[in-house]
Structure 1
Amino acid sequence: MTGGVLLFVQQASQRTVVAADRQAVEDARDDLLSLYRSGGAAALRGEMARRFRSVEGERAVLLLTDAAGRPAGGNLGAWPAGLSADGRWRIMSLYRVGRDEPEPTGVIPVRLKNGDRLLTGMVISNSLQLARIYEEALSVAFIMSLVLALGGAIMLGRILARQVSDIAQTANDVAVGALDRRVPTDGSGDAFDRLGASINAMLERIDALVTQLRMMTDGLAHDLKSPVTRLISVVEQASAQTRDDTALDALEKVHQEAQTLRSMLTTALLISRTEAGFGGDLLRDTDVGELLRDVGEVYGPLVEDSGFALTIAAPDALVFPLHRELLSQSLANLIENALHYAEGGDGIALSAALEDGHLLIVVADNGPGIPAESHAAALKRFGRLDPARGKPGSGLGLSLVEAVARLHHGAVTLADNGPGLRVMLSLRRP
């Protein structure tokens, strides 16, 4: 827009300067024509001589020719070739008498009575030079305005980027469970300050609601554990006292269901506490390879008894801040899931690697896997896919894994192992 304005000013300035010269030539033409009508060619030649002796004569261009084209007066040696006496303004290069170089000249040629012709003009080199000075000045002004505009845009962009970056960083922190994060505000009352205050108010409300929900879930799971534990104890005592096989079978089923319920409550309580951020301050630098080998040592015999082979791969001396107990429990859940659902497979692979500063832990099997459209459902709390309804479990295993990943500022992703399932934990440093 600035360039358009400056271009308009430049064109307007040039037109104004040239228009002033044109008006001067038109006035001189009118004066000479008036004198010619009253006094004839002799009076016209006398006026032309007088004008050459005056100050304005330094720029004047005049020529009077007879019907045969012979010069009768003026400071041009001959009538310009191809120039018709039509009375129109035009700019052309002409040689004045006594000049070695052509000069830009604005002329108006007219035809007189008896075939005489009169050319009235003015050297406009100074005007064109002034127009070029205007053009150069406006070009410099345009460049300076462009630099200033670019500098202002960069500064504004950095300010906006910093403001947006603060909001984005807060959103990322909240997304990984840090509900206490808030957008920085400076109290200036500008648009970003008001936006930050609105987002902070929303986060306060979300934090309060989530805290209430976690407290209710935590309290419910905690309160239910005691009666379930007492129920298990009563069933065990009843089983020890009865001799009826039918009653024993019924009590055994009740005992199994009660055990499952207690496991669900324990896991739900652990998930609730993990999502509430408990344990986040217990992240310690841990040898990842050693942790995987310890998990393999505990679950290796169970895996082999189930007809699978457990392989472990991790680079040496890979140290990462981890909550050892919770991550071990998560990996145990994933191995148990593979044992339960990887029918037709024969191997479970547990691996770890450092990629772009993130710790990537993968548990993969070569069983039937999970269809891609069911991955989201499998990660939901109490989410169990229809073919798995007859299997033991609570549907909380992957929920715990996801909660532990968020505690480590990461996420869980399910992928096709071709064949089988790959469960990937991508963990970030705090």
Structure 2
Amino acid sequence: MHWRSTTARFAALVFLLQVAAAATLLLTLRAIVRGQVYDRALATEEVLRQDLLAIQSDTGTAALARAIELRGARPARAGAVVLLADAAGNRLAGNLSAWPPNILPDDGTIAVELYRRRHDAPEAMLVRATRLPGGARLLTGSVVEGERRTVRLLEAAMLVALSLAIAFAALAAWLAARMIVTRLDDTVATLRAVRGGDLSRRVADDRSGDAFALLADAVNATLDRLDSLVSELTIATDTLAHDLKSPLTRLRSALERAAAQVSEPAAQEAVDRALGEGERVLALVETALRITRAEAGIGRESFAPVDVANELEQLAEIYGPLAEDADRVIRVVAPEPLTLPLHRELIAQALGNLIDNALKYGAGTITLSLTVTSHAATVSVADEGTGIAPEHRAVALSRFGRVDEARGGNGAGLGLSLVAAVARLHGGSVTLDDAAPGLVVALELPLRS
């Protein structure tokens, strides 16, 4: 699955939304808990501050000092922070040893870490300084060390929860992407089978009514129409073959009888020329029909095991005398035997067309080669002529495509088109390449058991 595919982007979207939702939930929970913890501490500090200010207002600073000492001795006030100092900062009463630096009256509530008397470790606390009449200063606060530990434990738990959320988000994204791919696998497999020639294949109907079911219905309807058109094409091509080949055959017979009866040289030459053109038209019709039937997938029922290397040897023997007449050589390079299910007649005609093209338009040695990889077998025909320029190769493979300026000749432009159609009939492909020098035409055929 490519990272730029729609499935990958959908999986990434699911993952990001899951992580964002989990992170938002955890951060909101942290903010609520933290706010509740510290708001309670602030409320406790404010109650203590207002209580002490009321005592100072009613009885004075000396009485306030005594009240602070009494309050500090009570266990219920163990978490309170109180310090009463004179204008110079000297301690008068409270559970702090000295006025903390950098804390000024009316600065509001400040979070600090200070040592309380008879405590060996600093503690987190929220404190507030207030200026009293006469210059004295009052520091009130609440120890929040326990609350801070609680928040830290909560944050650690949140990190674990976020890690689990990321893992589950990745799993959800993978499952979502896999669900889409699984729902489309049957459709893709069906289309591949149809492309390979199995026009009876259809996508299974799951009756869910979702978008995938609608896609399956549309694909099946299209395949039904395609099957109908191919059936009509089969009937049309068979009818066309009968309607065209029969009069052409009768015309050839009439020309042969005329050739046997005429005695004048000029008439004999004209009849022979007409007979040749008739043969050419008949071959053209037969080739065009073969291409049409191959493109429609007709002929797969005739597939049979064929020894490809032996087939190349036989073709070399058949075309060997023609090559010798042209002072050319045909050689076969097939290092290992290979048997594939093929339409033997069409493969032989396709390779024969390539050899015939190499004899007509190429030069030097003609090489028939067979190479095998893990997934395909490649049969190629190469010559040492001028080749075909890269910009003309697509035209050469098209039906009735002629590249006279590149190769010369007076063909109908169906030879390479038939080769391409036969390759597609077998689920393969054709490529034209530079043989340095010359042209190499390669048929890649998939390996089948």
- Short-chain TM bin: over 0.9
Cα deviation 1:127-147 (Å, max 9, x = unaligned): 112212322333333222222
Q: Which residue identity does 1:348 align to in structure 2?
A: I
Distance 1:217 1:166, change over 3 A: same
1:369 lines up with 2:412 in the alignment? no
Aligned partner of 1:234 in structure 2 is: 254
Aligned partner of 2:235 in structure 1 is: 215
Whole-Å separation in 1 of the counterparts to 2:376 and 2:47: 85
Whole-Å separation in 2 of the counterparts to 1:388 and 1:231: 35
Whole-Å separation in 2 of the counterparts to 1:340 and 1:387: 14
Of 113, 116, 129, 1:96 maps to 116
Distance 1:217 1:278, change over 3 A: closer
Whole-Å separation in 1 of the counterparts to 2:323 and 2:188: 44
Whole-Å separation in 1 of the counterparts to 2:239 and 2:71: 111
Whole-Å separation in 2 of the counterparts to 1:175 and 1:263: 28
Q: Which residue identity does 1:156 align to in structure 2?
A: A
Return the TM-score normalized by structure 1.
Answer: 0.93
Of 105, 117, 128, 1:85 maps to 105
Cα deviation 1:379-408 (Å, max 9, x = unaligned): 122222243897343322222212221222
Whole-Å separation in 1 of the counterparts to 2:217 and 2:156: 50
Whole-Å separation in 1 of the counterparts to 2:172 and 2:43: 44
Matching of residues 303-382 of structure 1 within 5 Å: 303-342=323-362, 345-382=363-400
1:151 lines up with 2:171 in the alignment? yes
State the shift of 1:281 in Å: 3.3
Q: Which residue identity does 2:401 align to in structure 1?
A: G
Alignment coverage as a number of residue pairs:
428
Query: What is the DSSP-based 3-state SS (H/G/I as helix, E as strand, rest coil) of the residue aligned with 1:44?
Result: helix
Distance 1:34 1:325, change over 3 A: same
1:40 lines up with 2:60 in the alignment? yes
Q: Which residue identity does 2:117 align to in structure 1?
A: V
Distance 1:218 1:384, change over 3 A: farther
Matching of residues 216-295 of structure 1 within 5 Å: 216-295=236-315
Aligned partner of 1:177 in structure 2 is: 197
1:416 lines up with 2:434 in the alignment? yes
Q: Which residue identity does 2:347 align to in structure 1?
A: L
Q: Which residue identity does 1:408 align to in structure 2?
A: H
Aligned partner of 1:128 in structure 2 is: 148
Aligned partner of 2:207 in structure 1 is: 187
8 Å CA contact 1:177, 1:406 repeated in 2:
no
Whole-Å separation in 1 of the counterparts to 2:408 and 2:370: 32
87-96 or 390-399: which moved more? 390-399
Distance 1:177 1:372, change over 3 A: farther
Q: Which residue identity does 2:397 align to in structure 1?
A: L
**RMSD (Å) for aligned C-alpha atoms:** 2.1
Q: Which residue identity does 1:428 align to in structure 2?
A: P
Q: Which residue identity does 1:381 align to in structure 2?
A: R
Of 134, 157, 169, 1:137 maps to 157
State the shift of 1:365 in Å: 1.3
State the shift of 1:82 in Å: 3.2
Aligned partner of 2:402 in structure 1 is: 384
Q: Which residue identity does 2:25 align to in structure 1?
A: V
State the shift of 1:20 in Å: 2.3
366-375 or 345-354: which moved more? 366-375
Aligned partner of 1:426 in structure 2 is: 444
Whole-Å separation in 1 of the counterparts to 2:189 and 2:408: 44
Q: Which residue identity does 2:395 align to in structure 1?
A: A
Whole-Å separation in 2 of the counterparts to 1:11 and 1:361: 71
Query: What is the DSSP-based 3-state SS (H/G/I as helix, E as strand, rest coil) of the residue aligned with 1:28?
Result: helix
State the shift of 1:351 in Å: 0.3
Whole-Å separation in 1 of the counterparts to 2:78 and 2:374: 80
State the shift of 1:171 in Å: 3.1
Whole-Å separation in 2 of the counterparts to 1:421 and 1:165: 40
Return the TM-score normalized by structure 2.
Answer: 0.89
58-67 or 108-117: which moved more? 108-117
Q: Which residue identity does 2:169 align to in structure 1?
A: A
Unaligned stretches of 5+ residues in structure 1: none
8 Å CA contact 1:92, 1:106 repeated in 2:
yes
8 Å CA contact 2:388, 2:406 repeated in 1:
no
Cα deviation 1:302-346 (Å, max 9, x = unaligned): 12212322121012233333232221111101101111222xx21
Distance 1:107 1:168, change over 3 A: same
327-336 or 299-308: which moved more? 299-308
8 Å CA contact 2:386, 2:438 repeated in 1:
yes
Whole-Å separation in 1 of the counterparts to 2:407 and 2:125: 99
Query: What is the DSSP-based 3-state SS (H/G/I as helix, E as strand, rest coil) of the residue aligned with 2:89?
Result: coil
Distance 1:208 1:54, change over 3 A: farther
Whole-Å separation in 1 of the counterparts to 2:80 and 2:160: 33
Cα deviation 1:151-180 (Å, max 9, x = unaligned): 111112222222333333333333343333
State the shift of 1:54 in Å: 4.3
Query: What is the DSSP-based 3-state SS (H/G/I as helix, E as strand, rest coil) of the residue aligned with 1:109?
Result: strand
255-264 or 382-391: which moved more? 382-391
Whole-Å separation in 1 of the counterparts to 2:39 and 2:213: 55
Whole-Å separation in 2 of the counterparts to 1:106 and 1:168: 66
Cα deviation 1:8-57 (Å, max 9, x = unaligned): 33234223322321232123222222321222113322432343344541
Aligned partner of 2:133 in structure 1 is: 113
Cα deviation 1:175-223 (Å, max 9, x = unaligned): 3433333333322122212112112212222332233234323321232
Query: What is the DSSP-based 3-state SS (H/G/I as helix, E as strand, rest coil) of the residue aligned with 2:60?
Result: helix
